[in-house]
């Protein structure tokens, strides 16, 4: 099993599509529905045997939750803040502009 390349609180962007976000959870391999997986066009459908990331995501129009394979993520180096409304519930802003997961029990 591969170790995740990206960390919770890290800002990333999608390799192919114009969105970015903050990682709030990581699955060591694909853990979504087959229906979700099959909805991805075959020519860009990622392998299942890699980490998948849950993002507080945004594009130019809206904010949402995204589920993205590691192969389709790149580190976001823009330094721009992410505007997703759930950030304050999950993260504290660090002095360097990054995000740190709040210390709380989640279950």
* pLDDT per residue rounded down to tens, the chain (107 residues): 568 899 999 999 999 999 999 999 999 999 999 999 999 999 989 999 999 999 999 999 999 999 999 999 999 999 898 999 999 999 998 888 889 999 865 55
Please report whether residue 4 resides in a domain.
no
The answer to whether position 80 is within a domain reads: yes
* The pLDDT of residue 97: 80
Sole residue written with tokens 């459908």: 45
Residue 26 lies in a domain: yes
Interatomic CA distance for residues 7 and 26, integer angstroms: 8
Which pair of tokens denotes residue 98? 């990054």
DSSP β-bridge partners for residue 66? 55
Domain annotation covers residue 58 = yes
Query: What is the model's pLDDT at position 103?
Result: 80
Residue 5 lies in a domain: no
Residue 107: per-residue pLDDT: 55
Separation CA 87–CA 12 (nearest Å)? 14
Q: How many domains does the chain have?
A: 1
First to last CA, the chain: 26
List the domain range (segments joined by +) for residue 26.
11-101
Residue 46 counted as domain residue = yes
């Amino acid at each position: 099993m591969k170790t995740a390349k990206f960390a919770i609180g890290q800002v990333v962007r999608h390799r192919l599509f114009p969105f970015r976000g903050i990682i709030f959870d990581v699955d060591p391999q694909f853990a979504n529905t087959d229906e979700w997986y099959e909805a991805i066009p075959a020519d860009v459908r990622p392998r299942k045997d890699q980490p998948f990331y849950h993002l507080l995501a945004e594009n130019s129009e809206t904010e949402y939750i995204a589920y993205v394979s590691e192969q389709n993520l790149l580190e976001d180096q823009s330094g721009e803040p992410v505007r997703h409304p759930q950030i304050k519930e999950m993260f504290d802003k660090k002095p360097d502009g990054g995000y740190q997961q709040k210390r709380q029990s989640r279950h």
